[in-house]
Structure 1
Amino acid sequence: MHELIGGARTRCNTRRVDVRTRNRVTVAGRAGGPTLVFAHGFGCDQSMWRLVTPAFEPDHQVVLFDHVGAGGSDLSAWSPTRYASLDGYARDVLEICEELDLRDVVFVGHSVSAMIGVLAAAREPDRFAGLVLVGPSPRYVDDAPYRGGFQAEDIEELLDSLDSNYLGWSAAMAPAIIGNPERPELGEELTNSFCRTDPTIARHFARVTFTSDNRDDLARVGVPCLILQSREDVIAPLEVGEFVHARIPGSTLVVLDSTGHCPNLSAPDQVVAALREWLPAPAVA
């Protein structure tokens, strides 16, 4: 059973309750086991991991949360100042770890959360045992010879479209992001997830996400790192995964036989298998 920690929209008086409520932190799995912290991507929430996390609950402690502004997080905790860069989200991750007294954490970050995890681990490396980056991109904009997958004008057009018609943007972009046109239910799920996100916060988070440049931060990763990359991904092409692999010393790159930017939804069995193969075998309870 999942233990919901927090969930109310109101701000709480103590820091302990506030952090857990702020990010709607949930804890499942084996208490005292090695800890996996799962973080979702833009426009999503922790439910996007529901096809992956049950496989690890028998022998790991599993922690999930919603970024502020997403899912069941406390919207009153959001501010454009704190979240003007990905550093604000990395601070949230570290505060969650501190609040739950987590050590030797393996952080599993999808999409933009991959770079959030990179920043958090660089700031407090002693708290982390490893990083798993699913569809990471340190920079979405091309900067020759670097290829991020988008021209600068593409990103501005994308952000302008999001600003002017968020719901229309969501309906058009979600199926392209998810890929797998033969499985339209996946695109519908992502569209609905986008549409549940507060538009003002979503527009701000999108600009922070798509205009960030974290290439120099990759060399600061000092913990074991697994990179999971779909063979076809319109948001983070294979070249980007290879770049991340080359820039993180000692990292492991696994190219999944999947398409689209959300293998945690479209190919969860492959994500589970790759994680299982890379993670140390947990001690028998």
Structure 2
Amino acid sequence: MLSDPLVKNNVTVVNNDSKGRTIIFAHGFGTDQNAWKEVSTAFANDHRMVLYDNVGAGKAQPEAFSPNRYDSLHSYADDLVEICAALDVKDAIMVGHSVSGMISLLAAIKQPDLFSEMILVGASPRYLNDDGYVGGFDQPSLNGLYDAMANNYYAWVSGFAPAAMANPDRPELAMGFAETLSAIRPDIAQSVARVIFQSDHRADLHKLNKRTLLLQTKHDIAVPMQVAEYLARNIGNSTMHVVDAEGHFPHISAAKEIIREIRNFI
């Protein structure tokens, strides 16, 4: 039944009867809610926690995905709003990785009472370079990425996973990311990747009026430092911290760093 957002997005609620505040953890492209397992466990004793899979990923209902419906990040933001409504969420702490950073920002703009604080990990408002803006990619590079995904998706995964994860001394991390990437239907992965990499939400940043923490690693193939600095300049009431970690997935490769940053912030 697609009308139930808790089923559609494979929502997991931990400590539903907790008197503590709600923390929502949202994953990025190529992963699912399990990417937050180590970080979320650290908050299990004193918070209600909500984790979910974006449509097209993890164990979200496969039939819910349509490239026509999910042709922008706004559709994913609508899903997040519906999940919050189903769980009667108000004034939650929202933690979004990568694309879920912008998804949660859009959800906060649509319904301001959902979140009181935002934590955005490796987020980007635009991945494509522009005049006076460094996003990290030019259009020919992105076209090459789409072609590689289309020509041999699993070969692309085997190259992209270690590059995005970094931490070559811990190859098991890249292998884990490759597994979740490979579990996505290739046509869905290509559609979602295009929506993400061609998105531009720079004009939405000033609309966010929440206490916000921006977490960025020292080197990230998907999100250069200039992007995090751009977010910090354009999101009011935001603080940027560079965590002692490498790659695009510090909540997986350096969970203790992310746990400490979240604790200090909330």
SS at match of 1:233: coil
Please report how far the alpha carbon of residue 192 of structure 1 lies from its aligned counterpart in structure 2 after TM superposition: 0.7
CA distance in 1 between counterparts of 2:164 and 2:67 reads 26
CA distance in 2 between counterparts of 1:26 and 1:131 reads 20
* Paired residue type of 1:28: V
Report the counterpart of residue 236 of structure 2 in structure 1: 249
Report the counterpart of residue 163 of structure 1 in structure 2: 150
Please report how far the alpha carbon of residue 259 of structure 1 lies from its aligned counterpart in structure 2 after TM superposition: 0.5
Structure 1, residues 122-151: CA drift from partner, whole Å, max 9, x if none? 111122111110001111111121101111
Structure 1, residues 196-247: CA drift from partner, whole Å, max 9, x if none? 1111111110000011001111111011111000011111011111110110
SS at match of 2:210: coil
Please report how far the alpha carbon of residue 78 of structure 1 lies from its aligned counterpart in structure 2 after TM superposition: 1.2
CA distance in 1 between counterparts of 2:87 and 2:166 reads 36
Report the counterpart of residue 80 of structure 2 in structure 1: 93
Report the counterpart of residue 7 of structure 1 in structure 2: none
Report the counterpart of residue 129 of structure 1 in structure 2: 116
Report the counterpart of residue 210 of structure 1 in structure 2: 197
Report the counterpart of residue 3 of structure 1 in structure 2: none
* Paired residue type of 2:168: P
Q: CA RMSD in A?
A: 1.0
Matches within 5 A, 1:1-285: 11=1, 15=3, 18-29=4-15, 31-279=18-266
SS at match of 1:59: coil
Structure 1, residues 18-47: CA drift from partner, whole Å, max 9, x if none? 211100000113623201100000011000
CA distance in 2 between counterparts of 1:151 and 1:77 reads 31
Please report how far the alpha carbon of residue 152 of structure 1 lies from its aligned counterpart in structure 2 after TM superposition: 1.3
CA distance in 1 between counterparts of 2:62 and 2:153 reads 18
CA distance in 2 between counterparts of 1:252 and 1:189 reads 31
* Paired residue type of 2:117: G
Q: For this pair of structures, how many residues does the alignment match? A: 265
CA distance in 2 between counterparts of 1:231 and 1:152 reads 24
Relative to the length of structure 2, the TM-score reads 0.97
CA distance in 1 between counterparts of 2:167 and 2:47 reads 31
* Paired residue type of 2:161: A
SS at match of 2:116: strand
CA distance in 1 between counterparts of 2:214 and 2:238 reads 7
Q: Percent identity?
A: 43
SS at match of 2:53: coil
SS at match of 1:227: strand
Could you list the runs of 5+ residues in structure 2 that have no partner in the other structure? none
Structure 1, residues 141-182: CA drift from partner, whole Å, max 9, x if none? 111211011111111111111122111111110100001111
* Paired residue type of 1:102: V
Could you list the runs of 5+ residues in structure 1 that have no partner in the other structure? 1-10, 280-285
Please report how far the alpha carbon of residue 69 of structure 1 lies from its aligned counterpart in structure 2 after TM superposition: 1.2
SS at match of 1:109: strand
Given that residues 209 and 237 in structure 2 are in contact (C-alpha distance below 8 angstroms), is that contact kept between their aligned partners in structure 1? no
Structure 1, residues 62-106: CA drift from partner, whole Å, max 9, x if none? 100001111111111111222010000000000000000110011
CA distance in 1 between counterparts of 2:152 and 2:127 reads 22
Q: Which runs of 4+ in 1 moved over 3 A?
A: none
